Amino acid sequence: MHLSLRHYYHGMLCYSSVATYILYTTPLHSSVLMPMGVTTDVSSSYIMETVQVSHRLVHLDLKGAPPRMSYYEQMFPIISSFGATGLLVEYEDMFPYQDCLAHLRAPRAYSPEDIAKLRTLATTHNLTFIPLVQTFGHFEFVLKHDEHRSIREIEHYPNALCPTHPDSFPLVTKLITQVIELHPNDKYLHIGADEVWHLGKCPRCHNQMETNKNTPADFFLEWVFKVAWWVKTQHPHLTLIMWDDMIRNASLDTLKESSIGDVVEPMVWQYQSTKFDLPQDLFIKYSAVFKGIWGASAFKGSSGSTQFLPPIQHHINNNLNWISILSEHKSQINNFRGICLTGWQRYDHYAVLCELLPVALPCLCLCLRVMSKGSFTEDDHDYISQQLGFSHRINVMPFPRPQIVDSSATFPGHKVYVGVQMWSNFVCKYQAISNSEAMLGWFSDYLRSRNFTNPVQVENILTQVIEVEENMKDLRTHLIPWLLEVLYEDTVEEWVGSFIDPLLSKLKSVVDECRKQILIGGRVRDYTSIN
């Protein structure tokens, strides 16, 4: 969800070639902070009353662009040093399911040895490990398979399972059992349960709701309680967590009558950068029902399903808003466990990839600093920038593009960070050409279809398009090996095939058409033969 891309940056259009990186950001220790939303007065606007957030989890969404194990080895010590205390690992089809569930595994799924290594790395860096298993909504990775199509709530939609189908509960318990077996002695398990958009839609569910006079909230809570109760019975040492959005508007009486508070704790997710959209009595209600409450902010993956670069200021403000909310409601919350900084990699199993983890690592580190200190100051900005190897302050306002790319950083995956920044500039340049007066006024689809173009204008368009095409081809050559240092081949193929190659194909078509029109040479309308 990019902003308008035809803008000037500090009075000049800035494009970076692959061979030359030019730096322009605010120097470290400058008295002027990079733009911070609506104000740059850090002392008055960005220092909140200190709130202790004991758990600071980093969400790893593995349903897209799962990193190589070598990247975790480099990343974990960094996030731990900036205040992370744990990981929320959403495996989806990257988990090495076995036996009757083996078909759920992605071709490049982690092995049991990988899982063991991942957990060992987490322990080494004092990171609590919390696996996440979806058990109701966002069940696409299971329901896409023909073997499980019968347990869809709506036959044509793979989003949610049917809670009344006799095969649903055994399947979910098998999923959970296999995950727990590879996570011995872990203290927490997240059971998902967010965005269950289809409730009571199949005839069996509808009839049961009618017979029992259930509301959608009742029906939802009944299934979640059933799953959570089973887990607690089998594994009483586990504290269970669930996303809260489906129960957010349930009444206090409904929550109490369901006994949901005996088996699970809610994680309240809210990703806005300004006012949160939460019921006024939410924390009072949850504190009266649940033994603990969690929150969830975001460091990437919440500002658009096709986003390349995280809007860092937006995410800093989102995390600062959480600090403000916790301070405002601290007397209403009996036991706030901590915050999870979410980093969605796809909006669902079928969506394209959004911001890649290495591209968002600076944003994550800045947001961890916010959650660790309860504030964000110029000194914090300088400190994180220095620690990640930047010679200038991290640019927290990556839009509008184009912007000059700072290539000085040394953090793990910094080459991917640089490459995607440059890619975004080239996309901007392409869009600027596509929306230029020359393109719209002298090279429209209609004019080309009638072979009625002015070579003076077309030659100018061709020069610009060839420059962008060559830059993109050059970047593609460099970016693929940079991506392969961090990600697996199938992810690199997907990212390049989703974003770079389609644009190169469009550019080639424009180049070919320009050359054709130049060869025609400014003839009468509908000219058909070339001597």
Which structure tokens are listed for 417? 């960070």
Residue 241 neighbours by CB distance under 10 Å: 26
132: β partners: 90, 190
Is 12 strand, coil or helix?
strand
pLDDT 10s digits, 226-283:
999 999 999 999 999 999 999 999 999 999 999 999 999 999 999 999 989 999 999 9
pLDDT 10s digits, 119-146:
999 999 999 999 999 999 999 999 999 9
pLDDT band at 31, cuts 50/70/90? very low
Residue 351 neighbours by CB distance under 10 Å: 15
pLDDT 10s digits, 392-418:
999 999 999 999 999 999 999 999 999
pLDDT above 70 as % of the chain: 90
Which structure tokens are listed for 5? 């891309």
Contact assessment for residue 311 and residue 399, using Cβ atoms and an 8 Å cutoff = yes
Question: Virtual CA dihedral for 445, 451, 456, 458, nearest 10 degrees?
Answer: 40
Distance (Å, whole) CA 453 – CA 490: 43
Which of the listed CATH numbers 3.10.310.10, 3.50.50.60, 1.10.287.70, 3.20.20.80 matches domain 45-387? 3.20.20.80
Show the 3-state SS of 206-241: HHHHHHHCCCHHHHHHHHHHHHHHHHHHHCCCCEEE
Question: Virtual CA dihedral for 483, 487, 488, 490, nearest 10 degrees?
Answer: -70
Distance (Å, whole) CA 84 – CA 78: 9
Mean per-residue pLDDT, 300-315: 97
What is the distance between the terminal CA atoms of the chain, rounded to a whole angstrom?
47
Give this prediction's pTM: 0.91
Catalytic residue among 195, 222, 493, 494: 195
Domain boundaries, the chain: 45-387, 414-520
Which structure tokens are listed for 74? 């480099």
Distance (Å, whole) CA 531 – CA 519: 9
Q: Is 73 a catalytic residue?
A: no
Burial bucket for residue 256 (CB in 10 Å: 0-12, 13-18, 19+): middle
336: β partners: 293
pLDDT band at 435, cuts 50/70/90? very high
User: Quick one: pLDDT at residue 317?
Assistant: 98
